[in-house]
Amino acid sequence: MSRKFLIAGNWKMNKTASEAVDLIEEIKSSVGDQTSVQVCVCPPFTSLSQSSESVEKSEVLLGAQDMNAAQSGAYTGEISAEMLRDLYVSFVILGHSERRQFFGETNQIVNQKIHAAIGNNLKPIYCIGETLDEREAGKTLDIVRTQVREGLENFPTHSIENLVIAYEPIWAIGTGKTATDEMAQEVHAEIRKVLAEMFGDTSADSIRILYGGSMKPENAAGLLAQKDVDGGLIGGASLTARAFVGIIEAAQSA
């Protein structure tokens, strides 16, 4: 089963709308027409509208960083899946560790969001990963197994081609510490094993599992060479075209 690499940039709370457009234009000028690697940028909500116009007629896809599970209603400050679809958003990051840490999101809450995303034809990028304490206590595989099982409970197999998972060890996010290639492969293989138990081998083989956590041009090639690493979710290094494109180029030659 060949899985196309996906390189997705999580811009977090960075870039005004005009800065977002400038960065997308720079990314497009290097990799806007290539199709060997799928490329996605995830600006903040306030930049999505202008970013949507900027990615139009290019191969760069648009993602959001979160959404509410409800279809509509009295949820002050929230954004629905339908609103994202209306802006031609393709992917939505769900369950990022910063959402879990600062906004109290649990596997159950994220599960509801994943169902809402799928129901509205958005592709969830479901983030999982362990803390440093959990790794040092030897609990990494248990933690990610539970996150996969609970976050993907009742996920419809017929939508499996829309599912992306991002393994992001929390101790590696924004810290400059990266999992070694072997550490990443071990966890990715375990995630695929759980996916096979839940959805069968063929489905599990088709699901892309991204690595996230201080990925940069210098370490991307080694990580992307791993059998079960199908791309990257990039934070800091997605904020400049030079670094982000460097990672896309590493994926092109992996």
Q: Whose Cβ is closer to ligand PEP: residue 152's or residue 233's?
A: 233
Alpha helices of 32-172 — where are they, by DSSP H?
Answer: 45-55, 81-86, 97-103, 107-119, 132-136, 140-151
Region of 41-49, 64-72, 138-146, 166-174 interacting with ligand PEP (CB under 6 A): 166-174
CB of 84 to ligand PEP, least distance (A): 18
Does the protein bind ligand PEP through residue 47 (CB under 6 A)?
Answer: no
CB of 50 to ligand PEP, least distance (A): 23
Q: Which of 65, 214, 219, 226 binds ligand PEP (CB under 6 A)?
A: 214
Is there a catalytic annotation at residue 168? Answer: yes
Q: Whose Cβ is closer to ligand PEP: residue 81's or residue 170's?
A: 170
Cβ(72)–Cβ(94) under 8 Å? no
Which residue has its beta carbon closest to ligand PEP? 235
Distances (CA, A) of 210 to 58, 72, 86: 23, 30, 26
Element (H, E) at 242: helix 241-252
Determine the Cα–Cα distance for residues 19 and 10; give it in Å rounded to an integer. 15
Q: Which of 6, 164, 195, 234 binds ligand PEP (CB under 6 A)?
A: 234
User: Would you state the torsion angle of the CA atoms of residues 16, 22, 26, 32, taken in this order, to the nearest 10 degrees?
Assistant: 80
User: For residue 35, is it left (φ>0), alpha (ψ between -120 and 50) or beta?
Assistant: alpha
Give the SS3 label for residue 167: strand
Task: Give the closest residue to 45 by CA, choosing from 11, 4, 8, 9.
Answer: 11
Size of the site for ligand PEP (CB under 6 A): 13
Q: Whose Cβ is closer to ligand PEP: residue 43's or residue 203's?
A: 43
Is there a catalytic annotation at residue 96? Answer: yes
Q: Whose Cβ is closer to ligand PEP: residue 199's or residue 244's?
A: 244
Catalytic-labelled residue, pool 98, 105, 168, 190: 168
Determine the Cα–Cα distance for residues 248 and 94; give it in Å rounded to an integer. 22
Task: Pick out residues in 179-198 that bind ligand PEP (CB under 6 A).
Answer: none
* Token representation of residue 4: 């196309």
Does the protein bind ligand PEP through residue 130 (CB under 6 A)?
Answer: no
Does the protein bind ligand PEP through residue 168 (CB under 6 A)?
Answer: yes
Does the protein bind ligand PEP through residue 233 (CB under 6 A)?
Answer: yes
* Token representation of residue 254: 């992996």
Determine the Cα–Cα distance for residues 157 and 130; give it in Å rounded to an integer. 26
CB of 73 to ligand PEP, least distance (A): 29
Q: Whose Cβ is closer to ligand PEP: residue 213's or residue 231's?
A: 213
Does the protein bind ligand PEP through residue 20 (CB under 6 A)?
Answer: no
Which residues contact ligand PEP (rule: CB under 6 A)? 10, 168, 173-174, 212-215, 233-237
For the annotated catalytic residues, the residue numbers are 96, 168
